[in-house]
């Protein structure tokens, strides 16, 4: 930070006269650095499951007559493969988002519908932990963008809320108009989980950053979920807010520009319920 990258070119155009071209490469350098870091991180993250799979498969091969071991290790191979699948999927998603071509044809996205869809996708995990899923808020709110990306973002937030909470707690998701700006909508995911320490709150949006690597891995985390959420928000002209108290819980809020539906079907401003 605070550094500039300038490319200076000097050309002699005539006797005693030179042309000096100064190009500001700061932004380009940052993009280059980010891409290089991403590739380094990705290779590192891929090595872990690939290495584990290779080792497990080798052990199975050396112990084919041990039925119990074969069963156990094959199950572990499957688990690591599933992790690898999620990781590759998320890497593809993230690089698509970074290229910024995800929003070429924006559509009218109804937030209730998207939230309901995301809730459906995490119901199995929630039930397995007996986490109670609650949803509510204002119906009939829209944003302009990509429904499947917004659903992915909300799903990632719900996944985390469930993953970093104790059994028999509550996770809620609410949709509403921003109380201080009627041109913004808010989708808030609230949990009663382990929370995030102040000093980690900014870092959790970084690619592959986890507060507790072991816990994230054990629960199938990749460290990419929140950076995807951040990119989805940014691509829609929005932001992500985080409030958290360690030991009490966290609230992640997607704040997006509101889209008002035109035509005869349009309603007046819905009252918050
Ligand atoms: P992961 O796949 O590890 O969950 P994320 O990018 O989704 O990756 O999140 C990064 C880290 O932020 C997590 O590893 C976890 O330490 C922390 N985190 C995310 N959501 C929550 C939450 N709701 N409560 C507590 N910690 C969270």
Which pLDDT tens digits describe the chain residue by residue (273 residues)?
578 889 999 988 888 899 999 998 888 888 888 788 888 888 888 888 899 999 999 999 999 999 999 999 999 999 999 989 989 988 888 887 877 665 778 899 999 999 999 999 999 999 999 999 999 999 999 999 999 899 999 999 999 999 999 999 999 999 999 999 999 999 999 999 999 999 999 999 998 899 988 877 777 788 999 999 999 999 999 999 999 999 999 999 999 999 998 765 555 555 555
pLDDT of residue 33: 82
CA 120 to ligand 1 centroid distance, Å: 20
Q: What angle do CA 171, 175, 162 make, to 5 degrees?
A: 20
212 lines ligand 1 (CB under 6 A): yes
Q: Which residues pair with 110 in a beta bridge?
A: 142
Distances (CA, A) of 265 to 60, 65, 141, 260: 62, 68, 13, 11
Task: Please give the number of the atom of ligand 1 that sits closest to the Cα of 191.
Answer: 23
Whole-angstrom distance between the N-terminal and C-terminal Cα of the chain?
Answer: 45
CA 53 to ligand 1 centroid distance, Å: 25
pLDDT of residue 103: 73
- Residue located nearest, by CA, to atom 13 of ligand 1: 210
Distance CA 52, CA 217 (A): 13
Task: Please give the number of the atom of ligand 1 that sits closest to the Cα of 222.
Answer: 2
Token match 């290495």: residue? Answer: 51
Tokens of 81: 């493969």
Distance CA 121, CA 249 (A): 22
Distance CA 256, CA 234 (A): 9
User: Alpha-carbon torsion 81, 189, 184, 117, what sign?
Assistant: positive
Q: What's the whole-model pTM score?
A: 0.82
Count, residues in the chain: 273
Nearest-CA neighbor of 208 among 36, 27, 32, 40? Answer: 40
- Residue located nearest, by CA, to atom 12 of ligand 1: 204
CA 243 to ligand 1 centroid distance, Å: 13
CA 57 to ligand 1 centroid distance, Å: 30
231 lines ligand 1 (CB under 6 A): no
211 lines ligand 1 (CB under 6 A): yes
């Amino acid at each position: 930070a605070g550094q500039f990258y300038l490319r200076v070119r000097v050309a002699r155009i005539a006797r005693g006269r030179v042309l000096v071209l100064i190009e500001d490469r700061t932004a380009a350098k940052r993009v280059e650095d980010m891409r290089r870091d991403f590739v380094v991180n990705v290779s590192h993250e891929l090595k872990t499951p690939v290495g584990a799979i290779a080792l497990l498969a080798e052990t199975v091969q050396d112990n084919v007559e041990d039925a119990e071991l074969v069963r156990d290790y094959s199950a572990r191979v499957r688990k690591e493969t599933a992790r690898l699948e999620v990781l590759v999927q998320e890497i593809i998603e993230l690089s698509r988002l970074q290229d910024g071509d995800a929003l070429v044809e924006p559509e009218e996205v109804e937030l209730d519908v998207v939230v309901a869809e995301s809730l459906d996708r995490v119901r199995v995990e929630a039930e397995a932990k007996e986490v109670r899923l609650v949803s509510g808020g204002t119906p009939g709110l829209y944003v302009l963008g990509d429904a499947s990306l917004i659903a992915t973002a909300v799903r990632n937030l719900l996944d985390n809320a469930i993953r970093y909470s104790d059994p028999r707690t509550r996770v809620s998701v609410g949709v509403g108009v921003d109380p201080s700006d009627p041109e913004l909508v808010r989708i808030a995911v609230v949990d009663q989980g382990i929370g995030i320490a102040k000093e980690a709150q900014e870092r959790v949006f970084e690619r592959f950053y986890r507060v507790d690597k072991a816990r994230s891995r054990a629960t199938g985390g990749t460290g990419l979920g929140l950076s995807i959420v951040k990119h989805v928000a940014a691509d829609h002209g929005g932001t992500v807010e985080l409030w958290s108290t360690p030991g009490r819980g966290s609230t992640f809020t997607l704040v997006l520009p509101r889209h008002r539906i035109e035509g005869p079907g349009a309603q007046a401003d819905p009252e918050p319920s």
